[in-house]
Amino acid sequence: MLQLAVRKQLPGFTLDVAWEAGDEVVALFGASGAGKTLTLQCLAGLERPDRGRILVNGTVFFDDGTGTNVPSRRRRLGYVFQGYALFPHLSVADNVGYGLHDCSREERQRRTAEMLERLGLTGLADRRPRELSGGQQQRVALGRALAVDPELLLLDEPLSALDAPLRRQLRTELMGVLREWGNATVLVTHDLAEAFQLADRIVIYDGGRIVQAAPKSELLSRPASEQVARLLGVRNILRGTVLKATPEIIELSWRGYVLEAINSPIRTYLPLPGTEVAFFIRPEYVRLIRKDRPVDPGHHMNRMEGAVVREVDQGTNWTLLVTLDHAGTPAQGDHDLEIEVPKLVYEMLEIARDRRWAVSMHRGSIQVLPAA
């Protein structure tokens, strides 16, 4: 159980965050410079917050009200640093056993050997960190942090130093280790896929503040704001005007079309007609209407027409940038919509040759965002 509320002022930057977590993996997600690492350092006692309170498993680590500030060495945390910060002058075994200096020699050797075994490092015990691959270094860092049997595990960008293929493999490995360990873990990352795969709960940071903290299942389907949607990398974020809003349906006016969207069941208020709202539709949910099939008005709701102005080969998919026929400035610079189609579809429909298309969006795919 982890409760944290800290405020810390640095020159040109203020961290002001509060969140809590149970025995689960929490990802602090956000761009670099958002205050994620600073939060970890406050948690670990390496930085002193100006104000706030940090509580881990019932122990107060920091409380400016009572003047409590438990020093780092007494917090019993496993901290895996960005770039790992392994001791270059010590062997793998001595790195892993470094935190066990209070134990007897036998105890230390036993626990070190156990940890090496668990992480598949037994054969490397006498190597120096510089003789290891990136993945092995990562495991040593993890072993060093877990060897002390910490109350809380802190991981700062544990995979960002690795190449992409290795990163995917180690992400899976790391997930296995975290599940097995099972205690509270805080993971700092700027990689959304990493956050989604490893974490149960995601806290989104932006400019030293939290913009949303939610279980990951909630996050993508219901971003708390346009800002969160943008941070999550959501594409096709658009702005329209409310024509009508009922608990079931919201009708929007956008680029001369009337769009119908299903209202969110948890929305607590209805936007007034005439207000501007943000909404988004995932590029893969925009459908191309095939010209060789009869038009089915029931199926093709929110129908629009336009032309492909640009396309990007994404490997297994193609991204099409489409501008609608209406006059006026396109909604997203030189285009109105991004559409993603599988390569197979791209080839079947001969999109490379045929540039004019009608598209439709199912009303369930249009997500109206809460006003900021």
Partner 1 sequence: MDAFPILLSFQVSLAATVLTLALGLPLAWVLARRRFPGHDVVEAAVVLPLVLPPTVLGYYLLVVIGARGPVGRLLDGLGIELAFTWRAAVLAACIGSIALLVKAAQAGFEAVDRRLEQAARTLGRSEWNIFWSVTLPLSWRAVFAGTVLAFCRALGDFGITLMVAGSIPGLTQTMPLAIYDYVQANQMREANLLSLVAVMTALLFLLGLGRLARLRF
> To the nearest whole angstrom, how small is the minimum distance from the Cβ of residue 219 to partner 1?
30
On whether the CB atoms of residues 263 and 242 are closer than 8 A, the answer is: no
Give the contact letters, 70-109, x = binds to partner 1 (CB under 8 A), - = no.
-xxxxxxxxx-x-x-x-xxx--------xx-xx-------
For the stretch 122-125, contacts whose Cβ atoms lie closer than 8 Å and that sit 24 or more positions apart, written own/partner, are: 124/92, 125/91, 125/92, 125/93
On whether the CB atoms of residues 62 and 68 are closer than 8 A, the answer is: yes
Stretch of 25-33, 69-77, 114-122, 283-291 lying at the interface with partner 1 (CB under 8 A):
69-77
**Bridge-partner residues for 19, per DSSP?**
4
Per residue in 119-142, is it b (16+ CB within 10 Å) or e — as a string? bebeebbebbbeebeebbbbbbbb
Question: Using CB atoms within 10 A of its CB, is residue 31 exposed (0-12), middle (13-18) or buried (19+)?
Answer: exposed
The continuous run of DSSP H or E covering 106 comes out as helix 105-118
Give the contact letters, 208-247, x = binds to partner 1 (CB under 8 A), - = no.
----------------------------------------
Question: Using CB atoms within 10 A of its CB, is residue 83 exposed (0-12), middle (13-18) or buried (19+)?
Answer: middle
> To the nearest whole angstrom, how small is the minimum distance from the Cβ of residue 327 to partner 1?
57
Stretch of 42-50, 241-249, 266-274, 338-346 lying at the interface with partner 1 (CB under 8 A):
42-50
| C-beta of 49 vs 78, nearer to partner 1 | 78
> To the nearest whole angstrom, how small is the minimum distance from the Cβ of residue 1 to partner 1?
20
Q: What is the chain's Cα-based Rg? A: 26
Stretch of 144-152, 171-179, 226-234, 283-291 lying at the interface with partner 1 (CB under 8 A):
144-152
56 belongs to the binding site for partner 1 (CB under 8 A): no
| C-beta of 147 vs 250, nearer to partner 1 | 147
* CA distance linking residue 343 with residue 173, whole number of Å: 31
> To the nearest whole angstrom, how small is the minimum distance from the Cβ of residue 79 to partner 1?
4
Contacting partner 1 (CB under 8 A), which of 45, 143, 158, 283? 45
The total of other beta-carbon atoms located within 10 Å of residue 265's CB is 7
* Tokens (6 digits) for 98: 């470094």
Contacting partner 1 (CB under 8 A), which of 144, 167, 255, 287? 144
Binding-site ranges for partner 1 (CB under 8 A) = 41, 44-46, 71-79, 81, 83, 85, 87-89, 98-99, 101-102, 144-145, 148
